[in-house]
């Protein structure tokens, strides 16, 4: 079953613009993670944010977590063509003790 | 450190056959998790191995099995292949601290693309 639901499913922007993706989930979590996947390849870990954290930064990435709304957002600033990929949020379902991935947001950066 | 490696990268099998996929984790990582990725179902957790023991399991039939060796390398096996088993199979390794692999960031391999004809 999918717990994380990403929004939008697809996003197309111009290079240099900011991209924002949202993730909503249903149950209590220990942490929420964001991953990137280039077409047909393995996933690359971007950021892990724990349930007691509200915001985290890594380079051009900013992740927020609102546990009261059960939602998270990933902001990519000053986008580049190389950011074109699918982005997945994954929640740590502490009861099932596994990562549950959303369906992903397909991001396209146009030059 | 070398990343997670998976072999083979591509595999074509026919219905009814069985297949074994291999995963070598990052050195020092004791936890290996397996995921199945399909266009329809997305990424789904298969199972996790830690110190040669299956620690967690997803909702897959018994045709899907795995094991982990003392050097943390892992294999997964799918018996009696069905058309619906066509997918990208991803292996991920992590340090293994905490009760489950999901407690830490996971490092994914490039995947094995299995096609069942």
Contact residues, chain B, for A93 at CB < 8 Å: 102
Contact residues, chain A, for B87 at CB < 8 Å: none
Average pLDDT, stretch A61-68?
97
Q: For residue B98, what pLDDT band results from cuts at 50, 70 and 90?
A: low
Q: Give A 45-104 residues with CB within 8 A of chain B.
A: 45, 48, 88, 90, 92-93, 96-104
For an interface test with A, give the residue of B43, B53, B109, B110 to mutate (most A CBs within 10 A).
Answer: B43
Cα B116 → chain centroid: 17
What's the pLDDT at B116?
98
For B4, nearest residue in chain A (alpha carbons): A42
As a dihedral over the C-alpha atoms of residue A97, residue A98, residue A103, residue A108, rounded to 10 degrees, the angle is 120
Q: Nearest-CA distance from A111 to chain B in Å?
A: 27
Contact B101 A99 (CB under 8 A): yes
Residue pair B31/B101 in contact (Cβ under 8 Å)? The answer is yes
B82, containing H or E segment:
none
Buried b (16+ CB within 10 A) or exposed e, B76-89: bebeebeeebbbbb
The Cα B46–Cα B39 span in angstroms is: 16
Q: For residue A1, what pLDDT band results from cuts at 50, 70 and 90?
A: very low
- Residues pairing with A73 in the sheet: A22, A64
Cα-flanking dihedrals φ and ψ of residue B32, to 5°?
-130, 125
DSSP A68-103: TTTEEEEEE-S--GGG-EEEEEEEEETTTTEEEE--
Q: pLDDT tens across B38-89, in order? A: 998 999 999 999 999 998 899 999 999 999 999 999 999 999 999 999 999 9
The Cα B113–Cα B117 span in angstroms is: 13
3-state secondary structure at position B101: helix
The mean of the pLDDT values for chain A is 92
The Cα A54–Cα A66 span in angstroms is: 7
Q: Nearest-CA distance from B71 to chain A in Å?
A: 22
Contact residues, chain A, for B4 at CB < 8 Å: 42
The Cα A32–Cα A64 span in angstroms is: 10
What's the pLDDT at A74?
98
Q: Nearest-CA distance from B85 to chain A in Å?
A: 16
For B43, nearest residue in chain A (alpha carbons): A101
Q: pLDDT tens across A5-44, in order? A: 888 999 999 999 999 999 999 988 889 999 999 987 889 9
Q: pLDDT tens across A90-100, in order? A: 998 777 778 89
Q: To the nearest whole percent, how much of chain B has pLDDT over 70?
A: 98
Q: For residue A80, what pLDDT band results from cuts at 50, 70 and 90?
A: very high
Contact A42 B109 (CB under 8 A): yes
Average pLDDT, stretch A72-97?
92
């Amino acid at each position: 079953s999918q717990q994380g639901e990403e929004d939008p499913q697809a996003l197309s922007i111009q290079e240099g613009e900011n991209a924002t993706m949202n993730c909503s989930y249903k149950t209590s979590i220990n942490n929420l993670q964001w991953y990137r996947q280039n077409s047909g390849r393995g996933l690359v870990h971007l950021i892990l944010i724990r349930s007691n954290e509200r915001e985290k930064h890594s380079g051009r990435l900013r992740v927020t977590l609102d546990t009261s709304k059960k939602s998270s957002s990933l902001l990519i600033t000053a986008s580049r063509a190389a950011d074109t990929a699918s982005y997945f949020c994954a929640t740590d379902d502490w009861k099932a003790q596994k990562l549950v991935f959303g369906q992903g947001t397909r991001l396209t950066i146009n030059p | 450190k070398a990343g997670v490696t998976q072999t083979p990268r591509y595999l074509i099998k026919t219905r009814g056959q069985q297949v074994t996929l291999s995963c070598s984790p990052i050195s020092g990582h004791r936890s290996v998790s397996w995921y199945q990725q399909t266009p329809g179902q997305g990424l789904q957790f298969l199972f996790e191995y830690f110190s040669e023991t299956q620690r967690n399991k997803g909702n897959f039939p018994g045709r899907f099995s795995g094991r982990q060796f003392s050097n943390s390398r892992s294999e997964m096996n799918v018996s009696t292949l069905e058309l619906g088993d066509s997918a990208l199979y991803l292996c991920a390794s992590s340090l293994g601290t905490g009760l489950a692999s999901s407690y830490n960031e996971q490092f994914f391999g490039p995947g094995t693309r299995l096609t069942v004809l």
